[in-house]
A and B are shown apart, each in its own frame.
Chain A
């Protein structure tokens, strides 16, 4: 047994994060830790990686009791973690980030030659083409994540913990990551994988354990369980929602948003877009296709070079996000931590952020009314929290995303721009978000949604626009949806049926 955890418990004020959980992993084994948001997966991983101390329970490394004195100590014992929240230093170059904390030296000098060679080797194995000297902060989220993976590969780790490594990777990137995991396995390195994509678990893992609300639910070898069984373990009940169909079409003929000739060099180039009332429009594209930039251009978060936006048939001169919000637009940004939430602020204050002025009375803010509104919003979105005055940073990733959506809901948005709203979110929460989207459109709102998972777009959208290198390559109406063709178009290959 490489690493074993026995009867681990962790309590936070008001929250039982983990309750007597057992876990073990052998050398060369790939084990998935599965559970909904807030099930305690991340907490367990942090304990294994020495980032937090458990209140109860023991860890055994090579069958010897061990207590990690911080994450560095765990790393010295060969346990490396790639957290869901990237730990990239944006001002440093790619190669400096890869060797962050363990720079190689020759005598008293840094040995850049060796480091560059090693970094290049690892990065090309990972399929990252960025220059070693590029500033890490200038890269896309996916590329930054690959740097994170490279970082832990460059250490001689025996156990690699990956918390949602594929959440922002494209299909190709995921495939090369999994190849990598296979070769790590053959070298005897153990891997713990947290993922919300069940098919990934079945593709790559040997074994899985399931957590629910901090409790240990069970473990299973991968060939003794199927997807339905796993979902039942995760949720505690069988789900029919898992292949639930789509709600009826509520798309109307009324045009609510029309963008013409949107250009912001070098990201988006002459993009035309329309959106009808009640419609769900998907944007498919790879990382770097300009999806996020398109959303931000519509929302006036970035200045555009040229192009016009019409809302409800009249020209909208959007000069700032405030302007866009007043016109009924709402953006849930790609990265909830750096753009969506103020992590140091209470959950409740985050939820009412864009709608705060509604709660201003003669005597200033009506805190009670605001708190009631925040509670209502968070409950509508099924946010799991101990107290509304808890800082938003204490929430799990999925719950943070729900708070971001609560903000939009509270702002009285009628055109929702959702940038990767399902990233890093479990099945239950994903279904809740799809339900919310359909609910919103049924009430006459409209939605534009970005997702890296094209299957999700196919499920949820009325129409899908394919974006490649800042240009629209094709548009598909529901009924013509075809996974392969959409994928090809998103990759810039205008396959069959593409408009030339």
Chain B
């Protein structure tokens, strides 16, 4: 039990938050509301999952929000002339391609990931805006597509099912494939990985490619929900939310450390807060403030020995008082 708490502190936070919000708001624990949270959190969840791969591999991807936007306008826009399934494939391939470009520049020229992806973030956003003329595109989308957002299978919303499925595949990939293990090795110590015969460039490009794909997939889910694509506001700030979700879930921004479960919980924590604040009628700016604080506390509790010592000291003085 102690080990579980130590490995997965975010699970405790998640359970704790559920209880607190459940007490504060009578409707929070309604099955309808909980499904709603899952639906909302799953969008960020896909992007955060991609970010988790990139971060573990020692990189950073700021272009995710722009990829979500590009994917959404491509899917909506291409549906006017092409069958939707073709448009969807093009959008997903575009996401993968952007990721590969990110990875290529990071590995081939040894550029800083933050600069490379900052550039693609701007370029991709610009392309999406140019393609859509900065206006929402409604396109001719089939009703089946909306089932991706609103469908229910076995009592679970389809987005949540897809979200958990992506999570399960990622867990398997990171834990049970040598390529997955290599992501940790490259992120933990690139030179040691190289000397152990690992193709560092391939591994890094793979992580950016996964991130691009999952972001484009989030764009697809967004189109399914909004029934339109939009390039100006879509996905703004998602890169930071995704990093926040991963960091809350214990993924190290230094690379080499992190879990899928943590990232998924991080995304759920952020989604849950948004929902609960909404229900409680709290002004949205508070939400940003609280997310900021939660992030700071989470990261501090993972990395700071001093903070842990402080907590230890506080709790031991507590016990002394009790005696």
Contact = CB atoms under 8 A, between A and B. Distances in A.
B59 to A, nearest CB: 16
Given A339-B192, A364-B176, A367-B176, A345 B197 contact: no
Contacts of A341: 189, 192
Given A344-B256, A353-B185, A357-B178, A322 B199 contact: yes
Interface string A331-343: 1010000111111
B225 interface: no
Residue from the set B177, B192, B199 with the largest chain A CB neighbour count within 10 Å: B192
A365 to B, nearest CB: 5
Contacts of B185: 342, 345, 349, 353
Contacts of A338: 189, 191-192
A318 to B, nearest CB: 12
Contacts of B181: 349, 356, 365
A407 interface: yes
B197 A321 contact: yes
Contact of B184 (A345, A354, A411): A345
B176 A365 contact: yes
Nearest to A352: B181
Contacts, number: 81
Interface string A348-374: 010001101101100111010000000
B139 to A, nearest CB: 40
Nearest to A301: B195
Interface residues of A, number: 32
Interface in A117-145: none
A325 interface: yes
Interface string B169-206: 00010011110011011001101111111110000000
Contacts of A331: 195
Interface in A282-327: 299, 301, 320-322, 324-326
Interface residues of B, number: 24
B176 A342 contact: no
Contacts of B194: 301, 321
B196 A407 contact: yes
A325 B182 CA distance: 16
A365 B195 contact: no
Given A321-B197, A322-B199, A339-B195, A344 B188 contact: yes
Contacts of A359: 178
A354 B197 contact: yes
B257 interface: yes
Given A341-B189, A343-B188, A322 B198 contact: yes
Given A301-B194, A331-B195, A339-B195, 19 more contacts: A325-B197, A333-B192, A338-B189, A338-B192, A340-B195, A341-B189, A341-B192, A342-B188, A343-B189, A344-B252, A354-B197, A359-B178, A360-B177, A363-B176, A365-B175, A365-B177, A365-B181, A367-B175, A411-B197
20 contacts: A53-B309, A320-B199, A322-B199, A324-B197, A326-B197, A331-B195, A333-B192, A338-B191, A338-B192, A339-B192, A341-B189, A342-B192, A342-B256, A343-B189, A344-B189, A344-B252, A344-B257, A354-B196, A364-B177, A411-B196
